Chain A
Amino acid sequence: MAKLNVNGKTIDVAVEPDTPLLWALREQGGLTGTKFGCGVAQCGACTVHVDGVPVRSCVMPVGAVKPTQKIVTIEGLSKDSTHAIQKAWIAMDVPQCGYCQSGMIMAAAALLKKKPKPTDADIDSAMTNICRCGTYQQVRNAIHMAAGNVGRKA
């Protein structure tokens, strides 16, 4: 039994310590917004924040997460989808199939927190998540929009 602080609440998860955080969130926490894509930290569909830092939860064992560390998933990013990134995502109609988008949004939100006015190069290096539908151009545009980057055609 491990204790996790998820979206401001403490939850008990009855799993082996080597269970990836992703599966504890999905299968014990019922938080299915965080997705399984590859299991090897390549695609980023499982991205959550741990103490504000984007983490690929499919390779983070529950045993390595302290009960005091604050985990935020897509469900806890904002109430009513009002985070600047979510608002920009809606305005730009970014998602296609949507499966990778929870991870994309969590990665983008972490980027904005670190760099409120990211450049294209910042976006290139931070946004390594895989999208097979091909939303990348709209992802880039929406991050600029959320950052309020002016003088740039979204």
Chain B
Amino acid sequence: MNLEFNESRRKFVITTAAVSGGMSFGFALPSGDVFAQVQKGADLTQPEVNAWVVIKPDDTVVIRIARSEMGQGTLTGLAQMVAEELECDWSKVTTEQPTPGQNLARKRIWRDMSTGGSRGIRGSHEYVRQGGAAARQMLIAAAAQEWNVPAAECSAANSVITHAASGRKTTYGKVAAVAARMEPPKDVQLKAPKDWKLIGKGVARLDTKEKVNGSRIYGTDLNLPGMLNASIKACPVFGGKLVSFDEAKVSGMPGVKHVLKVGDNAVVVVADTWWRANKALNALPIIWDNGPNANVNSAMIAERNKAGLDATEAFIGNKVGDASAAIAAAPKKIEAVYSYPFQNHATMEPMNATALWSADKCEVWCPTQNGDAALSAASTAAGLPLDKCDVYKINLGGGFGRRGASDYIRQVVSIAKQLPGTPVKLIWSREEDMLQGAYHPVTQCKLTAGIDAQGNVSGLNMRISGQSILATVIPTLLVNGADLLTFQGLLPVGHERFGDHAISYAFDNLTIDHAMRNTHVPPGFWRGVNANQNAIYMECFVDEIAHASNQDALALRQKLMAKNPKGWAVLKAAADQGGWGKPTPKGTGRGLAAYYCFGAYIAACAEVSVSATGKLTVKRIVAATDSGHAVNPKQIAHQVEGSFVYGLGALLHQECTVKDGRIEQDNFTTYQPLRLSEMPKIETIVMPSGGFWGGVGEPTIAVAAPAVLNAIFNATGKRIRNLPIKNADLKA
């Protein structure tokens, strides 16, 4: 997912706040409810206590949320953080999302809007709490002024301010207008964690009710007056171009209004309804120039990555001592090669966006994880200055990193620009979504270990060969050509830039390096990012070392984690509850994995069974998480469960293969997510040790695959090193 450190590359904008009026959502909804239905930015007409907090006269508390809600619960978690310090009545809390334009008009008062890298809470905990605390102080000061008593004699709880000495009470709603005119406090004290009442509580999400009755509006549901609908096809071979299309063949089909070129590689049909647009698009004869990659296939990419495993040149990620010498001198040596495929995010809601362009203004309504980048993309595609554009963030039907990219936003603006004054909604078909992804990078890894007579790892070489995400997506973040994010969860402890992705184990002699082998298939941030394959490589190979040296896999990890007490604590908790070390029936096995990434310690103990015919059942997984502080343990448990669903789908079924330069899997028929019937029982142990703020949405996915792979080995003696498992033969 987007790791939001590309500040210097962003363009910023000052623009107006309001959505242009007159939207309606089909006749089923009264038009008066429109603005309530769609996030349209912050309502800046209301007097605010400060940028984060608006209190209405009826005591309603409006908390402003800068990050995008895509299911991960950040909306509720961030509101809890503000409300904790605000001391407001939680039952009266509502939220709203400022637009990127509003943010910039106010000198980035809401700071970063990008939502990725599991940074929603850990990246903003301090300033959002300060926003709540400052607002509380101003509300108290307003009451104290009215009562002519020192503010220090007043206290606030549950949206009620009390002056104990005189017994006077008032509510936030009554003093909010005065508070809005107070000077912001210079000294804002945050509560000690021991005094938290709302942080750490598994309160219900703020956005559930409208998700159970169909009233929640997503980008695909937008309906502006006079709006047309569009379905698009880009050249299925990445890097290819559009040559021509035969418009006459479809221009007479029902509802078809326009057939247009989009950029240099795509064609779109615009019609009155999306179904008619898509039907005509599928009937449209199109000629592509498939370009220089028309012959590339998966085997060629794999061969190139394989060659990289032994290349002399590679970027160093972590080096301690002399691993090669130590391995050469070791009495025992083991080696293994692993591989990880391309995978599509496959969000449930396909990519989509709606735009309205005129010569002096461009507005975009879209689900995005990165409002700032979306605004920049809209401006560029619109050919209008940033201050003539704005982006209204709509609820995301899943993100997982895919909606950090702005390709679909550039497309819709390009279409709208060809139809001035007409709003256009672009929805990708599932096929387009599958073929035009920003894929999980493809890599291989060779690991070589030397094991001494006492069973200690005397040296470890780990060569990763394959794609870099940053080289394609944010090349300015390469360091002397190296993509340090490739080494997620493998970097030195205390690493200056990526200390939140440090290695869990201490080795006396270690080299981890990366032979970068980029492909024409575009990579992207995919939930868990590079921690996914890195954790498989490291955690499965540690299991191999344990087996080769006849050691218990937990005991070996305990030795390697001697300097990592928090990592060991979560692993021990998962192993204990998971029954590690207890006997299992034939065909059943357990596996462990532990990792540190996105600033959180996680571990899992998986239990699987494999039948004689090779049918795999993942029965139970115990997962432990230490994210430092645990803002909403209930939502953490849901994120942990979801991480296993996403991670196990990837492990069991998912790969995107390349033939003739294009991705072969074009729908859920050939790209199977995990289904409910395959869902193991997940037991989540939330064990916050305090003192730091770790991520939640992504870390756990790292342990999903290696814990299960190690359990399969434990059950069957079969070591699967190439994913997904569907390609492996597990028959006895």
A132 touches B673 (CB 8 A): yes
Within 8 A of A (CB), among B313-363: 345-350
A99 touches B275 (CB 8 A): no
Nearest Cβ in chain B — how far from A2, in angstroms? 14
Which candidate, B159-167, B295-303, B638-646, is the interface stretch facing chain A?
B638-646
Pick from A36, A93, A136: contact of B679, CB under 8 Å? A136
The number of A-B residue pairs with CB atoms under 8 Å apart is 191
B213 at the interface (CB under 8 A from A): yes
- A139 to chain B: which residues have CB within 8 Å? 676
- B97 to chain A: which residues have CB within 8 Å? none
B213 touches A33 (CB 8 A): yes
Distance A90 CA – B209 CA, assembled complex (angstroms): 6
Distance A67 CA – B96 CA, assembled complex (angstroms): 42
Which residue of chain B is the closest to A16 with respect to CB atoms?
Answer: B254
B214 touches A73 (CB 8 A): yes
- A131 to chain B: which residues have CB within 8 Å? 348, 645, 676
B216 at the interface (CB under 8 A from A): yes
- A112 to chain B: which residues have CB within 8 Å? none
A135 touches B638 (CB 8 A): yes
Q: Given that A34-B214, A40-B667 are contacting pairs, would A133 and B28 also be in contact in the complex, using a CB cutoff of 8 Å?
A: no
Pick from B274, B346, B674: contact of A23, CB under 8 Å? B274
Nearest Cβ in chain A — how far from B713, in angstroms? 25
Q: Given that A27-B275, A36-B427, A97-B71 are contacting pairs, would A130 and B673 also be in contact in the complex, using a CB cutoff of 8 Å?
A: yes
B634 touches A93 (CB 8 A): yes
B223 touches A128 (CB 8 A): no
B638 touches A101 (CB 8 A): no
- B348 to chain A: which residues have CB within 8 Å? 35, 37, 43, 45, 97, 99-100, 130-133
Q: Given that A27-B274, A89-B212, A134-B641 are contacting pairs, would A40 and B668 also be in contact in the complex, using a CB cutoff of 8 Å?
A: yes
Q: Given that A27-B273, A134-B641 are contacting pairs, would A43 and B668 also be in contact in the complex, using a CB cutoff of 8 Å?
A: yes
- A110 to chain B: which residues have CB within 8 Å? none
Pick from A98, A123, A129: contact of B397, CB under 8 Å? A98
B16 at the interface (CB under 8 A from A): no
Nearest Cβ in chain A — how far from B346, in angstroms? 6
Distance A135 CA – B642 CA, assembled complex (angstroms): 6
Which residue of chain A is the closest to B640 with respect to CB atoms?
Answer: A134
B401 at the interface (CB under 8 A from A): no
Distance A27 CA – B221 CA, assembled complex (angstroms): 9
B396 at the interface (CB under 8 A from A): yes
Q: Given that A42-B669, A132-B398 are contacting pairs, would A86 and B430 also be in contact in the complex, using a CB cutoff of 8 Å?
A: no
Distance A33 CA – B395 CA, assembled complex (angstroms): 13
Pick from A37, A77, A93, A96: contact of B430, CB under 8 Å? A37
A96 touches B72 (CB 8 A): yes
Which candidate, B83-91, B200-208, B558-566, is the interface stretch facing chain A?
B200-208
Nearest Cβ in chain A — how far from B112, in angstroms? 21
A145 at the interface (CB under 8 A from B): no
A133 touches B398 (CB 8 A): yes
- B27 to chain A: which residues have CB within 8 Å? 30
Size class of the B contact interface (CB-based, 8 Å):
35 or more
Distance A33 CA – B29 CA, assembled complex (angstroms): 11
- A16 to chain B: which residues have CB within 8 Å? 254
A137 touches B641 (CB 8 A): yes
A29 at the interface (CB under 8 A from B): yes
- A102 to chain B: which residues have CB within 8 Å? 214
- A129 to chain B: which residues have CB within 8 Å? 676
B52 at the interface (CB under 8 A from A): no
Q: Given that A32-B26, A36-B350, A131-B348 are contacting pairs, would A74 and B207 also be in contact in the complex, using a CB cutoff of 8 Å?
A: no
B377 at the interface (CB under 8 A from A): no
Distance A124 CA – B399 CA, assembled complex (angstroms): 26
B71 touches A38 (CB 8 A): no
Which residue of chain A is the closest to B215 with respect to CB atoms?
Answer: A33
Binding site secondary structure of chain B: loop
Distance A99 CA – B645 CA, assembled complex (angstroms): 16
Nearest Cβ in chain B — how far from A98, in angstroms? 3
- B644 to chain A: which residues have CB within 8 Å? 134
B217 at the interface (CB under 8 A from A): yes
Within 8 A of B (CB), among A2-32: 15-16, 19-20, 23, 26-32
B211 touches A98 (CB 8 A): yes
Distance A134 CA – B519 CA, assembled complex (angstroms): 30
Pick from A32, A43, A45, A93: contact of B638, CB under 8 Å? A93
Distance A115 CA – B29 CA, assembled complex (angstroms): 34
Within 8 A of B (CB), among A84-123: 86, 89-90, 93-102, 105, 123
Pick from B26, B208, B209, B397: contact of A99, CB under 8 Å? B397
Chain A proximity mask over B16-39: 1 for CB below 8 Å, otherwise 0: 000000000111110000000000
Pick from B71, B209, B346, B674: contact of A96, CB under 8 Å? B71
B586 at the interface (CB under 8 A from A): no
B400 at the interface (CB under 8 A from A): yes
Q: Given that A34-B214, A45-B348 are contacting pairs, would A93 and B645 also be in contact in the complex, using a CB cutoff of 8 Å?
A: no
Nearest Cβ in chain A — how far from B214, in angstroms? 2
A40 touches B669 (CB 8 A): yes
A75 touches B204 (CB 8 A): no
B46 at the interface (CB under 8 A from A): no
A52 at the interface (CB under 8 A from B): no
- A77 to chain B: which residues have CB within 8 Å? 213
Pick from A29, A90, A98: contact of B28, CB under 8 Å? A29
B681 at the interface (CB under 8 A from A): yes
Nearest Cβ in chain B — how far from A134, in angstroms? 3
A138 at the interface (CB under 8 A from B): yes
A39 touches B205 (CB 8 A): no
A95 touches B208 (CB 8 A): yes
A127 at the interface (CB under 8 A from B): yes
Distance A132 CA – B208 CA, assembled complex (angstroms): 17
Distance A96 CA – B254 CA, assembled complex (angstroms): 37
A69 at the interface (CB under 8 A from B): no
B186 at the interface (CB under 8 A from A): no
Q: Given that A134-B646, A136-B676, A138-B641 are contacting pairs, would A81 and B429 also be in contact in the complex, using a CB cutoff of 8 Å?
A: no
- B638 to chain A: which residues have CB within 8 Å? 93, 96, 135, 138
B66 at the interface (CB under 8 A from A): no
Which residue of chain A is the closest to B675 with respect to CB atoms?
Answer: A128
Distance A129 CA – B400 CA, assembled complex (angstroms): 19
B305 at the interface (CB under 8 A from A): no
Which residue of chain B is the closest to A18 with respect to CB atoms?
Answer: B279
Nearest Cβ in chain A — how far from B527, in angstroms? 9
B216 touches A98 (CB 8 A): yes
A-B contact pairs, 16 of them (CB 8 A): A20-B275, A27-B275, A30-B223, A32-B25, A32-B26, A32-B220, A74-B213, A74-B214, A75-B28, A86-B213, A96-B73, A98-B71, A101-B211, A130-B675, A134-B641, A136-B675
Can you name 9 extra interface pairs (CB under 8 A) apart from A74-B213, A101-B212, A132-B400? A16-B254, A32-B25, A32-B221, A37-B348, A45-B348, A75-B215, A96-B71, A98-B207, A124-B677
Nearest first, the 10 closest Cβ-Cβ pairs linking A and B are A33-B214, A30-B26, A134-B645, A134-B642, A97-B71, A99-B397, A98-B211, A96-B71, A30-B28, A74-B214
